[in-house]
């Protein structure tokens, strides 16, 4: 939009920039992440074709990181369309795609199993843990009496596929246990 303002002896043109909506900002972010993910995958393909396996491993992790970031932005997109059902439908989709197991052991210990490859701290985000675990916990406890522990110990066990030992190198920090612990504690631990 262009406005003209006349001041006695000169004309000043002022261009008013339209601010982007949240939906437009999210679409822009998705485009950026999609291009970034595509670029990382092309590097993986190039290294594979050159049989450069040592470099391929590192770039494969970069591709996984880019894909995780794309997924996080993609999860936000439906909410910005204004559909009042978007949040519920996205949570249902997350529950369908990420098979988080929640329950009690024979010894009556509460457990959560998240079958996911965790991101590296220096690049990744643990937001996908919160975004995945919260709807899973809500679904598990829906219609049940809440379980509350006054005293408890949280135990984290990382299980790696023996056939894929390279995955063990992904555990660089405590971000994922802290995030999943915080989500679990918010549901289970009673404050005195």
Burial of 184 (0-12, 13-18, 19+ CB in 10 A): middle
pLDDT digits 0-9 by tens, 65-85: 899 889 888 988 998 999 999
The predicted-structure confidence for 87-110, as pLDDT tens digits, reads as follows: 889 888 888 888 888 888 898 888
Q: 13 with 36: CB under 8 angstroms?
A: no
Sorted by sequence, the CB contacts under 8 Å of residue 104 that are 6+ apart come out as 110, 111
**Percent of the chain scored above 70 by pLDDT?**
71
Instruction: State the Cα–Cα distance between residues 189 and 181, nearest whole angstrom.
Output: 11
Each residue of 142-184: pLDDT tens digit? 888 777 777 777 777 777 667 766 655 555 555 666 667 777 7
Query: Is the pLDDT reported for residue 121 higher than 50?
Result: no
- Banded model confidence at residue 40, pLDDT cuts 50, 70, 90: very high
Residue 100's pLDDT is 85
* pLDDT at residue 138 tops 80: yes
Beta strands in 54-157 (DSSP E): 101-104, 110-113
Global model pTM greater than 0.85:
no
User: Residue holding tokens 């262009």?
Assistant: 2
């Amino acid at each position: 939009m262009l406005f003209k303002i006349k001041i006695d002896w000169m004309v000043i043109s002022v261009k008013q920039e339209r601010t982007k909506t949240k939906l437009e900002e999210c679409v822009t972010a998705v485009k950026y992440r999609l291009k970034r993910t595509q670029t990382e995958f092309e590097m993986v393909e190039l290294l594979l074709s050159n049989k450069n396996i040592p470099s391929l491993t590192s770039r494969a992790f970069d591709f996984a990181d880019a894909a995780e970031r794309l997924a996080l932005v993609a999860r936000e997109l439906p909410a910005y369309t204004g559909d009042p059902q978007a949040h519920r439908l996205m949570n249902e989709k997350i529950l369908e795609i990420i098979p988080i197991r929640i329950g009690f052991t024979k010894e009556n210990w509460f457990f959560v199993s998240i079958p996911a490859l965790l991101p590296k701290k220096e690049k990744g985000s643990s937001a996908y843990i919160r975004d995945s675990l919260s709807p899973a916990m809500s679904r598990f406890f829906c219609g049940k009496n809440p379980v509350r522990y006054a005293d408890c110990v949280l135990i984290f066990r990382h299980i790696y596929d023996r056939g894929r030992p390279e995955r063990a190198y992904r555990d660089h920090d405590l971000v994922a246990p802290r995030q999943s612990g915080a989500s679990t504690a918010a549901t289970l631990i009673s404050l005195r």
